Amino acid sequence: MELRIALAGNPNCGKTTMFNKLTGSSQRVGNWPGVTIDRKSGKIKGTDAELIDLPGIYSLSPYSPEEIVSRNYLIDERPDAVINIVDATNLERNLFLTLQILDTGIPTVVALNMMDTVEKLGDKIDVKKLSEGLGCPVVPVSALKGDGVDDLVKTAVDVAGNGKAPVPVKFDHRIEDVISHTENAIRGNVPNELIRWYAVKILENDECVLGQHPEVRSSVSGPISELEEEYDDDSDAVIADARYGTIAQIVSSSVTKAKRDEKGSLSDRIDRVVTHRILGLPIFICIIGAMFLAIIGYGDITGIGTYFTDMLNGYIGDELMPAAEQWCADNGVSDVLTGLLVNGIIGGVGAVIGFLPQMLVLFVALCILEDVGYMARVAFVMDRIFRYFGLSGKSFIPVLVGTGCGIPGIMASRTIESERDRRITAMTVTFIPCGAKLPVIAMIAGALFGGNGMVALFSYLLGIVCVLISGIILKKLKSLSGTPAPFIMELPPYHMPSWINVLKGTIDRGWAFVKKAGTIILLSCVILWFLMSFNTSFEFIGTDATTDSILQVIGEAICFVFQPLGWGDDWQLTVGTITGLIAKENIVGTFGVLYGIEAGENGEGLEAVLAAALTPAAGLGFLAFNLICAPCFAAIGAMHRELGTWKATGIAVLYQCLLAYGVGMIIYAVGSIIAGTEIHIGSIIAAFVILAILVYLLVAKDPFRQLGDREAAA
């Protein structure tokens, strides 16, 4: 029979690193809590055992969806064994979950992770005494270095095969009497192997358990009341204190700590600067700004990513496309197939792939900041700001995840305990530019602002501002009202980045981008080329694509919608925006198809053609709209999974589009006034009306009262 072994532990204790080590997998690893948001499985190398990596939890009293995943698996599906990964540098906190797992009766092995760090600190852990105190095997390991992994696998397989339940750690006799009384009250109504776990949960007032057995609490209310009176505290606090007291006894008898520096560790000293209440935010902005300047560049200084992007784009435009066209001519390929290959496939997909070097350099920089541990500090710094706008700092964790891709960013909102915060975050996390939007940012920066990396910084700050504005507006809806949840998150210690983790993270994100370019974007470019190259009578018009093509007819029919934003007169820009709803990279691919011929004939490149079509103000408005409006179809699907209904998803998408339209119009109007460029008076009036509406929604105490009254009446 195949054994099932669960991997459980606190957030950021090294579970995913251990999972990768044991299974040979390459799941994403990050130096912050909440990287794993759903369970993953794989075969343990050299065995027939299946290993299930569960989301990190602090206890078996769940508050957020990903914690429910872990609890339900342990309680309902009961694996053959549990490998409880414990941070050996912080036993007091980690063993709280260990005692709860032991209560479930599932055979358990405790893996003392980060033992290499313990040795560096000069601490000593008596593994034998710790094992005796917990009543289960304890194996010292280092998931990062692979030390002790073989012993852990052997011990876990033996424990799972034997199926011997661990002996729960007992509390003082008075508490044990009440637990025993509760066990007798529920005996026969719950599985025998879980009877102690259910009894303790009833004392802890666990809502999930009490909901299943509402009559039990009243039947044991007498002994519980006596216990609360004796300890002068609620029963759940009594159990928590008893657990921590037991943990303190076990740790004191098995752990000897070296003397600590009074000034604190290196991480503590760095944190005094980077998490400073005044300096923290400017430091974050400077770090992100420096990163984008290094990647994209500034003025005459070419960034690292831009240098390689220019090389790749030059190769595609100057060598690959002419070579493909010449090959088609030499081999008698028809004009239709030549146009499809050169202008549709190579021109469209190549325009997107050309930005791959910039994206890879960005991914390397982000992975380094994540692995060092700085990104967790950013969430702490942003909590002070987010709380003023009705959100918790935990909402910034999905924002950080979303810088790679919006889909895992939306899914990462599961780590937030508060339902209102979770829903607002899922609706707004895609305002932050993901990797797919970076080519659009770089394209506009290169075409209109001389490749200035500050355009990228502007884009990310605009996304954060829109998240904050939305926090104020959306919390005024009755369904999303309430106060933000408290922000409690462990700050992991700083360490040198693991180049293997950085390389894996960069390759995974880059490969996802390439796969999308070879599938969704390729298909979109082919369809666009067809619509551009044939007229409404389905006659091939070839390079005369600006006259009576099907795409032009469609674009001109809807481009009036975007005229107040300064770019509605150019149907190509409208079509690019629409195709961006499929995948944001499609915007660049669309321009590669639509403007590719004109750019090639002029010998000036795509950016020169865009510079002629857009003013800087209109270009910034175009960029803002496409960054904030509804995300790609895949992200909308992820949003639906988190929000639960298509109605809520539709409202979220509508809100995103309306906010994007308003912000785009304001940027265009204000930018045109500052630059002194020509703008229609109607656009100025409309922009200031929208600005007034936004201010009203931000300032008014209850702007949706009448709407809420109508909903209540209905």
Which of the residue ranges 205-219, 324-338, 482-496, 514-528 has the most confident prediction, judged by mean pLDDT?
324-338
Label each residue of 682-712 as H, E or C.
HHHHHHHHHHHHHHHHHHCCCCCHHHHHHHH
pLDDT at 603 over 50: no
Average pLDDT, the chain: 81
Task: Collapse the DSSP code of 629 into the 3-class scheme (helix H, G, I; strand E, B; otherwise coil) and give the result.
Answer: coil
Say how far apart CA 370 and CA 685 lie, in whole Å.
Answer: 44
**What does the alpha-carbon distance between residue 123 and residue 125 come to, in Å, rounded to a whole number?**
7
Of 32 and 127, more confident: 127
Statement: residue 599 has pLDDT above 60: no
pLDDT score, position 211: 64
- If DSSP states are collapsed to H, E and C, what string results for 80-93? CEEEEEEEHHHHHH
User: Can you give the pLDDT at residue 703?
Assistant: 67
Instruction: Enumerate the CATH 1.10.287.1770 domain ranges in the chain, comma separated.
Output: 173-256
Output 348 or 689, whichever has higher pLDDT.
689
User: Out of 129-133, 138-142, 268-272, which region has the weakest mean confidence (pLDDT)?
Assistant: 268-272
More confident residue, 189 or 139: 139
Q: For residue 158, how far is the Cα from the chain centroid?
A: 37
pTM: 0.71
φ, ψ dihedrals at 276, nearest 5°: -60, 140
* 544 has a pLDDT exceeding 60: no
Which tops the pLDDT comparison, 517 or 319?
319
Q: Are 406 and 429 in contact (CB under 8 A)?
A: yes
Residue 596 confidence (pLDDT): 65
Place 27 in a pLDDT band, splitting at 50, 70 and 90: low
| 193-246 tens-digit pLDDT | 888 888 888 888 877 776 666 666 677 778 888 888 888 888 888 888 988 899
Give the pLDDT score at 224: 81
Taken as a whole, the chain contains a residue count of 714
Q: Is the pLDDT of residue 707 over 50?
A: no
pLDDT of residue 311: 87
624 pLDDT above the threshold of 90 = yes
What is the per-residue pLDDT for 62? Answer: 64
Give one DSSP letter per residue of 524-593, joined into a string. HHHHHHHHHHBBTT--B-TT-TTSSBHHHHHHHHHGGGGGGGT-TT-HHHHHHHHHTTT-TTHHHHHHHH
pLDDT for the residue 562: 87
Tell me: the pLDDT tens digits for 46-59?
888 888 888 888 88
Return the pLDDT at 217: 65
Evaluate the CA torsion angle 145, 150, 155, 161 in order and state its sign: positive
Mean pLDDT within 332-357: 83
Q: Which of 11-25, 98-112, 130-144, 646-660 has the lowest mean pLDDT?
A: 11-25
The fraction of the chain above a pLDDT of 70, given in percent, is 89
Residue 139 pLDDT greater than 50, yes or no: yes
Q: Which carries the bigger pLDDT value, residue 519 or residue 653?
A: 653
In this prediction, residue 16 has a pLDDT band, given cuts at 50, 70 and 90, of: confident
Question: What is the structure's pLDDT at 479?
Answer: 64
pLDDT for 712 beyond 90: no
pLDDT of residue 26: 57
Mean pLDDT of 104-126: 87
Higher pLDDT pick, 445 / 348? 445
Assign 542 a pLDDT band (cuts: 50, 70, 90). low
Nearest-angstrom CA–CA distance, 188 and 196: 13
pLDDT, position 42: 84
**pLDDT band, very low/low/confident/very high, at 659 (cuts 50, 70, 90):** very high
For range 97-124, the mean pLDDT? 88
Over 50: is that where the pLDDT of 385 sits?
yes
Look-up: residue for tokens 């005796």?
Answer: 132
pLDDT of residue 1: 54
pLDDT of residue 202: 84
Could you tell me where in the chain the CATH 3.40.50.300 domains are found?
A: 4-162
CATH number 1.10.287.1770 given to 173-256: yes
**543 pLDDT exceeds 80?**
no
**Average pLDDT over every residue of 127-134:** 90
Which DSSP letter does residue 346 get?
I
30-44, 261-275, 326-340, 367-381: range with highest mean pLDDT: 326-340
Say which range, 76-90, 94-108, 140-154, 295-309, has the weakest mean pLDDT. Answer: 295-309
pLDDT at residue 37 tops 60: no
**pLDDT per residue as tens digits for the range 442-501:** 888 888 888 787 888 889 889 988 988 888 888 877 666 656 656 666 677 777 887 877
Q: What whole-number distance in Å separates Cα of residue 9 and Cα of residue 135?
A: 18
Question: In angstroms, what is the C-alpha Rg of the chain?
Answer: 29
Q: According to the model, what pLDDT value does residue 534 have?
A: 82
Answer yes or no: is pLDDT of 625 > 90.
yes
Q: pLDDT tens, 394-440?
A: 777 788 777 777 887 888 787 676 777 888 888 888 998 887 888 88
Q: What's the pLDDT score for residue 33?
A: 47
Find the mean pLDDT for residues 530-551: 73
The Cα–Cα gap between 600 and 614 comes to 19
Which among 626, 617, 618, 543 has a CA at the least distance from the CA of 585?
A: 626
What is the architecture, at CATH level 2, of domain 4-162? 3-Layer(aba) Sandwich (3.40)
- Given a cut of 80, whether residue 179 has pLDDT beyond it is yes
pLDDT at 30 over 50: no
The whole-number pLDDT of residue 620 equals 92
Q: Strand 50-53's sheet: what is its strand order?
A: 40-43, 50-53, 4-9, 81-87, 108-113, 138-140
